[in-house]
Structure 1
Amino acid sequence: MNLDLSGKTAIVTGASRGIGLAVARQLADSGAHVVLTARKAQDAEAAAATIGERAAGFGAHATDEAAATACVAFAIERFGSLDVLVNNAGTNPALGPLAEMDHGRFAKTIDVNVWAPVLWTGLAWRAWMREHGGAVVNNASLGGIVTAPDFGVYHASKAALMHITRHAAVELAPRVRVNAVAPGVVRTRLAEALWKEQEDEIVARFPLGRVGEPDDVARAVTFLASDAAAWITGETLVVDGGFVLGTASVEAVATAGEGAR
């Protein structure tokens, strides 16, 4: 498979830590130049410095259209193209029952998780990809497929992002491919509430026996951004260690395997 991204330039939003930083590092390791964004320029620049000369940081809140426009222009001017866009920035201030949700938290979640990917994709399309082609990868979530108490707004935003991925794949074809990843429980700061105090209990529900790491998602994103996925568009790749398969524990899977021998 051709995972070589040499000569290409990527923007990764929300890349100062966690999955975003892992994605940026993996893209750079595959040969790409990468622009990392964060709300604060110093955070983006510090993260880029950990990657090296193939990376640059840029301060841009995901929903700030002026900053996003400036970032797209910066990437093209600095590295000469914009071939890959990873819409990674996300938030979840709306934790709680739907019946008790307020408009402020609802609107912030939708703005960052749904509007921002639409905004950045449009900017990348108009500035470079419409003429030259490219690949867009949206960071959705397993929450866009499943349900859980208190996560209704966040899950709805990620389900919307998955559907927007499909629409954009049709609208931007054939020059641009648009796909998404749907991570399960990954060891990040945003997801700490899901695993930190109950890791043993959570791990028991993973057929693959562990919580995800940012690099697990980064490798999937790199695949979708590369020519190895040249005939894939409009898809959402679930990256969850088998969690969505149900209630099977690692022990149950192992026992079934022993019985089949």
Structure 2
Amino acid sequence: MEALKDRVAIVTGASRGIGLGIAAELVRQGARVCVTARGQEALDAAVAELGGPDVAIAVPGKGDDTEHQAEAVARTMEAFGSLDMLVNNTGINPVYGPIADVDPVAAAKILAVNVLAPLAWTRRARDAWMGEHGGSIVNVSSVAGFRPSPGIGMYGVSKAALIRLTTELAVELGPRIRVNAVAPAIVKTKFATVLYEGREEQVAAAYPLRRLGVPEDIAGAVAFLLSDQASWITGQTLVLDGGVTLTGGV
């Protein structure tokens, strides 16, 4: 499969987990990628896993840092000459517990990283390449954005806002730029371990497909939404949940 041959992507939060899985699938389909995350060592390992500097570069930094965003876009353009695709995958959830008790500073940080940063990355991608040449964007949301999610309520609020942001951007940036989102349920990553660790079989029992997700389940869907096969799809959020929302599960 080379559905994305000669295209270039930035994937944020891609040193491991869902982000790295997405980057790997894009490379498998012929793309070149810039991966971002906070840790240089983890990013270096990701680049090696993806196939080396011919197909991947890494730019370390915090997703909501404006200087980091500018550097990542500039280095992507310098290395590969275009920026056809953007995956806003970086997300944080530094608190666990009742939403009414969340520290306002922590709440603001969650919204800054999970909502405002994707908007900023989108703006930079538009200005650097997509506004003139076209492109496609996928935001990684969550099923927590659709329904109450006790314990991770502020995270859920941020993901609901990201879904809403996706629809707004799709209207404003069409027809040149398509903007869609995916909303995974629990995916087996380090980020989500608090939701299943030590009780995976019990949690998975609520899923009609009887298993939790893995990064590859998300990566294929994201690659599809970025590709020309989805050229008439914009403003949509694809739920990737093993059927769990059908049964009322988280």
Task: Confirm or deny a common fold (TM above 0.5).
Answer: yes
Classify the secondary structure of the residue corresponding to 1:233.
coil
Instruction: Please list every run of 5 or more consecutive structure 2 residues that lacks an aligned counterpart in the other structure.
Output: none
Give identity over the alignment, percent.
Answer: 49
CA contact (8 A) 1:4 1:30 kept: yes
Q: How does 1:81-230 map to 2 (within 5 A)?
A: 81-230=82-231
Distance 2:65 2:30 in 1: 29
Distance 2:122 2:2 in 1: 22
Classify the secondary structure of the residue corresponding to 2:35.
strand
* Bigger mean CA offset, 31-40 vs 143-152: 143-152
Q: In structure 2, give the amino acid aligned to 1:150.
A: G
Instruction: Please list every run of 5 or more consecutive structure 1 residues that lacks an aligned counterpart in the other structure.
Output: 249-261
- When residues 120 and 247 of structure 1 are mapped into structure 2, their CA distance, relative to the original with a 3 A threshold, is closer
Q: Which residue of 1 aligns with 2:60?
A: 59
* Bigger mean CA offset, 102-111 vs 26-35: 102-111
Distance 1:69 1:148 in 2: 34
Q: TM-score, normalising length from structure 2?
A: 0.96
Classify the secondary structure of the residue corresponding to 1:50.
helix
Shift of 1:94: 2.6
Q: In structure 2, give the amino acid aligned to 1:13.
A: T
Distance 2:100 2:239 in 1: 29
Classify the secondary structure of the residue corresponding to 2:170.
helix
Moved over 2 A (4+): 40-43
Shift of 1:42: 3.0
Classify the secondary structure of the residue corresponding to 2:190.
coil
CA contact (8 A) 2:2 2:28 kept: no
Query: Cα RMSD between the aligned structures?
Result: 1.2
Q: Which residue of 1 aligns with 2:22?
A: 23
Deviations along 1:86-121, whole A, 9 cap, x unmatched? 000000013211221111210111111001100100
Deviations along 1:10-31, whole A, 9 cap, x unmatched? 0000000000000000000000
Deviations along 1:16-49, whole A, 9 cap, x unmatched? 0000000000000000000000112332222111
CA contact (8 A) 1:45 1:58 kept: no
CA contact (8 A) 1:3 1:222 kept: no
Shift of 1:247: 5.0
Distance 1:206 1:66 in 2: 41
- When residues 162 and 3 of structure 1 are mapped into structure 2, their CA distance, relative to the original with a 3 A threshold, is farther
Q: Which residue of 2 aligns with 1:244?
A: 245
Deviations along 1:69-90, whole A, 9 cap, x unmatched? 1110111110110000000000
Q: Which residue of 2 aligns with 1:46?
A: 45
Q: TM-score, normalising length from structure 1?
A: 0.92
Distance 1:198 1:90 in 2: 24
The aligned length equals: 247
Shift of 1:3: 6.2
CA contact (8 A) 1:165 1:180 kept: yes
